[in-house]
Structure 1
Amino acid sequence: MDKKVVFIVGGTSGIGLSTAELFVKQGNIVIATGRSGPKMEEALVYLRQFQQDDNQVRVVSADAADRNAMEAVFQDIDNRYGRLDVLVHVAGISGRKYGDGVLDECTDEGWEVIMANNLKSVYLSNQLALQRMKAQNSGNIVNISSILGLVGTREHFTTHAYAASRGAVIQLTRSAAVYYSKYNIRMNVVCPGLLDTPMSQRAVKDEVILDALTYLQPLSPHVGYPEDVAEAVIFLASDSAKFITGVVLPVDGGWTAQ
């Protein structure tokens, strides 16, 4: 990639941090948001070891579902760089602890928390990015969804508010990709399967789920890693994918191929 200004929403751990690392290694300017102070500091120290100059990496605090917070970050990007080339939206949560689960048992709190963090946040970041990309007549957006936005499950992964939010991200991206193509803006979605990330520790440490993954994700080692998704994001954001928009790319070890 040529040197670009890249904004990663949720770039301080897991998929976001791996993606930020690859962008930094390629010489891009990277701005990453997070909400945890210790994680933000750790991410900044980690990413700085790959930077080629002192101003290449910034890590800022922002709640991705808060319009005022996100507008402030975008305004700061405007002031510092005058453009935004790539937006990667990774931020999202699992809502099981808030009451997400099977539909007839899902709580209102579980539904609302999930929709705020997993859907409203994407709406906000994409809207604010598109306003700038439309004005500059160029840009690239990659949203992270999930294979649970594509397929149903009988057990183990039955969080239906989460699945609904991820499906909505897919269709929001595809619909917008068609419209904004006339402004030379590309928009794509990556849908990870089960990865070994901080958010999925409950699942990746469950022997029953790990056994199920031998057929759900048949490609060995059956559990993916953040860098697997990061590589897909880098490709979609690069000029190598210049004729690709509106694509939903599973990175799932074969789950959705069955």
Structure 2
Amino acid sequence: MTSYPIRQFGCRRDNFGVLLHDAATGNTLSIDAPEEAPILQALEREGWRLTHILTTHHHDDHVAANLALKDRFGVEIIGPEAERARIPGIDRGVRGGDRFTIGSLAIEVIDTPGHTAGHVSYFVPGANALFAADALFSLGCGRLFEGDAATMWDSLQRLRVLPDETMLYCGHEYTATNARFALDVDPGNLLLQERVKEVEGLRVRGEATLPVELGREKRTNPFLRADDPELQAAFDRTGQDPVAVFAALREKRNGY
């Protein structure tokens, strides 16, 4: 069985850095590049050499180390074609629906605009991993800086259809605040209550709340459930259009 170890670690104030390694070929991918030093430290701990960066979107806290890492390792930088002009050092642009391989890793690109206009996520079935950056957070979703509610709702539905056992990796450690918000709008959800307790315990111990199974998110994340009658009832939006429900959730979260 092919081995694809994944290492997650903190960067900047609350970003996550993530390395994905192909043991068969030695290729190592960084999902975004928030900060050079933590990435170098993680590579040194593992004895890996960086070969690629998979960029999800153009925000500085996801591309800040692109050029430094490219200068150091000669990496290939892959990112959304729609944001090519705003991604430092990009070599190859990709679009939703694209599939490509790096070594023995098969990678699928999913369009997830909303947070930014060209945001993409990467699904790696062989590693059982979804790298959603700032489109989908545990118990939350990204702010709508360059898109509207309809666009982001469509994006999240593309992620929601992935297998339940997929492990979700996100761009930031926002889960504790998201958990409080989710419980506020959906207080009777027993599975959510369990997740909130788990998150509180992890944070008290200084541990990361990610990755998390996508199946759990489908049942507890209000932003994935705008069309769920139970969530709509809890949020006093019974029978409303899911986009309107999603927009109301996002607006409430903005001020939370």
Q: Higher strand share goes to which structure?
A: 2
Q: Higher helix share goes to which structure?
A: 1
Query: Normalised by the size of structure 1, how large is the TM-score?
Result: 0.38
